[in-house]
Chains A and B, each alone.
Chain A
Amino acid sequence: MTPATSLPYAYLDEFMKACVRKAVLKAVCIPGYQVPYVSEEVPIARGFGSGGLQITLSLIGADDVVKVFDEGDDQTVNAVNLRRFIVDVTSNATTNDPAEATLIQSRHRIPEEGLRLGQILVLQSAFPDALRFFETNEAVARRMHAEADYSKLWLRLYESIVDNHEIMIGGRYPVLINGRYVLDPTHVPRWDLPKLHDCSGIVLFGAGREKRIYAIPPHSRVEPLGFTDHPFRVERFEGAACHLCGSSHSFLTQFWRDDGSPAWVCSDSNWCEKQRAALVQEANA
């Protein structure tokens, strides 16, 4: 028996696709609400983007151009692996350029250039519930969401300031959507959260292991939590610039050269390439 030879288009059988699509529709209708759904195994391990992959495979159509990137990079092994699988089971066109893509699957990043109308961004989510670490009991957390009772969350932000003078949340920074649900935007950097506000594209979050789908529909109001005197802050890169394209206005990650000296590089590899191409063009002009 060789399972690989008889795979249907986009791998999932129609029952599963229907389950996922129904959950996506509900999620878009109730922005920020975590819709439970059946999340059966896909050939990608849990924690590596199984939920995002289920959404991508359920939504993909023959005309879709797919971009898969991971931590901003199209060439990291997990992105390559997911893209290769999606192409194997769909033969759809792929791209590294977010401007060309209709369906973008990502882990930990929103394209630096943002989303345009008609695009769907599928974010792989590890923990769908922003309350997970404030209230471990799911049934209780669900009631808190239903009652918009986020006092525990506010209290923790406050305590964090008391202890550290800063809100000590790196990624997974909680955002309030349309004034109603607090949502976990996944480990995208805080840098990316302003891009979610009034965004033209659809942002879908797939948490396969936790069996939840949630969404930010286009042009939603997305507000990272903060206080008047201790506002939400994005990451600071004072004085840093990408060592490849020279950019000082993109999200940078630090690395260490072989000689031990630190350097920075754009986390969005395609954006960085575009910057470099623009520099070359400028030089040639």
Chain B
Amino acid sequence: MGYSVVRGGERAMREAEGLIDAFRKGLVHPERDDLSAPQPEAIEGGLRFAVYKVMSEAGIYAPRLAAIAIQQAEGDLMEAAFLLRAFRACLPRWGTTLPADTAEMRAIRRISAAFKEVPGGQFLGPTRDYTVRLLKEALQSGSNQQAGGVELAADPDLQQLPAAMPKVADVLRRCGLVAPLPDSSENAPIHDITMRPMRFPRPARSARLQALARGETGALTALAYSSLRGYGHVHPTIAELRVGFVPVRVIHPELGEEVSIGEILLTECESIATGVGMISSHNTKCGPQFELGYGASFGQNETKAIAMSVLDANLSQPQAKGPADDQEFVLYHIDGVESSGFVDHLKLPHYMLFTSILDRVNAAAEAQAAAESGNLPASGADTVTSAKVRLMGSVVSKEVGS
């Protein structure tokens, strides 16, 4: 019958997969023999922020697997997070860890933007915040890349951070400026959104925090930023931002005792929702109090943890009306796996959908032309106004029999 419409198929897909493999191995620049693909060790060691981002968005703490995912995705971090999530979804759920007490965090960094002096002190730690962002060509030469080339301060006092530091939020609570934490024994069971779907209008706070913690860093940052600029009610003051290692504890299934199974690197941020323009405090029976927003993220992920704390505060005020205050708007659109997947699905064929749309546009154009030439008895509006609205049987109006 001659012409046949282009169809995809198994062979084309195999070739496409082969091509992506070849590109990963350097085919994109075949003339360059100085290029090579990084091994997972190099990614885990040298691209730690990529690893943190992927672990955080995948919702699984597994630096080695994150590095493999980044290698496989050629540095596409959303794709890497997706690979790791799909892997995570297959894992059996053994149980829940005990709540981590971040006051006992082995911190590598700890700052407060609210108070100059905080109990335990402030420690700048590894940060680029106050560096001049000049592209350093020197880093490209081999010797500097080695960890051995880094000299830590010789003074042992400068290396040692206190083993535990009280939380700034607790200080605020003691002053009555922030509502006290609910008694931990009364804590509602955690709503795990990977075990039970999130429901609106009021998802549990644990569900909200989990959705935020798994959110895509860029999406969280953009929405938090929109709040700072007035599209939400929160512009916070950071009570405390800390980065460090936190022990993970579980109840031993046989011994019934609390055991530590290792530690994870965590970024935690607590923000005082001081308000956009106007100071934002709400009156409680204890007098005017600030809302506190909470953010936490696997790895050193400061922008994300801060953004999360902003959005947590945004979402704790149901009466606030900015886009960033809207639970559904924020929580349904921050997931990177979902958003990137759905945006990418636009590449799928939509031939039939488009056929249906064209049919309607053509029908409307014909009706328009008929109306203009006076062939239509009256405008559609008049007819419908007088018509008794009722449902049509589904089959009767089919114009082209099948």
Contacts and interface: CB of A to CB of B under 8 A. Distances in A.
29 contacts: A3-B90, A40-B194, A46-B345, A47-B341, A48-B345, A73-B7, A75-B8, A80-B8, A108-B352, A138-B200, A139-B201, A161-B380, A161-B381, A162-B379, A164-B364, A164-B368, A164-B380, A165-B379, A166-B360, A168-B364, A170-B360, A209-B341, A211-B198, A226-B392, A228-B392, A230-B384, A236-B359, A251-B352, A257-B3
B352 A72 contact: yes
B328 interface: yes
Contacts of B140: none
Given A45-B345, A139-B200, A228 B89 contact: no
A95 B124 CA distance: 63
Contacts of A70: 348-349
Contacts of A77: 8-9, 12-13
Contacts of B119: none
A205 interface: no
B342 interface: yes
A235 B351 contact: no
Interface of B: 1-5, 7-10, 12-13, 65, 82, 85-90, 92-93, 193-201, 328, 337-338, 340-345, 348-361, 363-364, 367-368, 370-371, 376, 379-381, 383-384, 387-402
A21 to B, nearest CB: 15
Given A13-B90, A78-B348, A107-B348, 6 more contacts: A45-B337, A164-B367, A190-B356, A230-B387, A233-B363, A276-B1
A47 B400 contact: no
Given A197-B394, A229-B383, A267-B352, A236 B92 contact: no
Interface stretch (A25-33, A96-104, A217-225): A217-225
Given A162-B380, A211-B197, A80 B353 contact: no
A112 B352 CA distance: 13
A16 interface: yes
A46 B342 contact: yes
A228 B197 CA distance: 40
B106 to A, nearest CB: 27
A254 interface: yes
Interface in A242-256: 243-244, 248-255
Given A46-B342, A165-B376, A76 B360 contact: no
A133 to B, nearest CB: 14
Contacts of A168: 360-361, 364
A168 to B, nearest CB: 5
Contacts of B349: 70-71, 76, 78
Q: Which 3 A-B pairs have the closest CB atoms?
A: A46-B341, A47-B345, A165-B367
Contacts of B358: 170, 254
A168 B384 CA distance: 15
Contacts of B3: 243, 257-258, 263
Nearest to A76: B8
Given A48-B345, A237-B400, A165 B371 contact: yes
Given A176-B391, A255-B5, A267-B352, A45 B400 contact: no
Central interface residue in B341, B354, B357, B379, by most chain A CB within 10 Å: B341
A91 interface: no
Interface of A: 1, 3, 7-8, 11-13, 15-16, 36-43, 45-48, 50, 70-73, 75-78, 80-81, 84, 107-109, 112, 126, 136-139, 154, 158, 161-162, 164-171, 175-176, 187-191, 193-194, 196-197, 209, 211, 222-237, 243-244, 248-255, 257-258, 263, 265, 267, 269, 276
Nearest to A265: B5
A75 B197 CA distance: 34
A13 B92 contact: yes
Contacts of B389: 154, 158, 227-228
A194 B194 contact: no
B391 A187 contact: no
B82 A45 contact: yes
Contacts of B381: 161-162
B356 A170 contact: yes
Contacts of A193: 394
A23 to B, nearest CB: 9
B154 to A, nearest CB: 40
A38 B197 contact: yes
A189 B86 CA distance: 32
A234 B355 CA distance: 11
Contacts of B351: 71, 253, 267
A194 B394 contact: yes
Contacts of A108: 350, 352-353
Given A76-B349, A80-B9, A232 B89 contact: no
Contacts of A40: 89, 194
Contact of A45 (B196, B344, B354, B399): B344
Nearest to A16: B89
Contacts of B4: 244
A38 B196 contact: yes
A167 to B, nearest CB: 8
A243 B1 contact: yes
Contacts of A248: 400
A22 to B, nearest CB: 12
Nearest to A196: B394
B319 to A, nearest CB: 14
A138 B201 CA distance: 8
B398 A194 contact: yes
A189 B402 CA distance: 14
Nearest to A143: B201
B384 A229 contact: yes
Contacts of B370: 165
A84 B13 CA distance: 11
A154 B391 CA distance: 10
Contacts of A196: 394
B397 A226 contact: yes
A5 to B, nearest CB: 12
A280 B90 CA distance: 49
Contacts of B193: 38
Contacts of A258: 3
A235 B359 contact: yes
B335 to A, nearest CB: 8
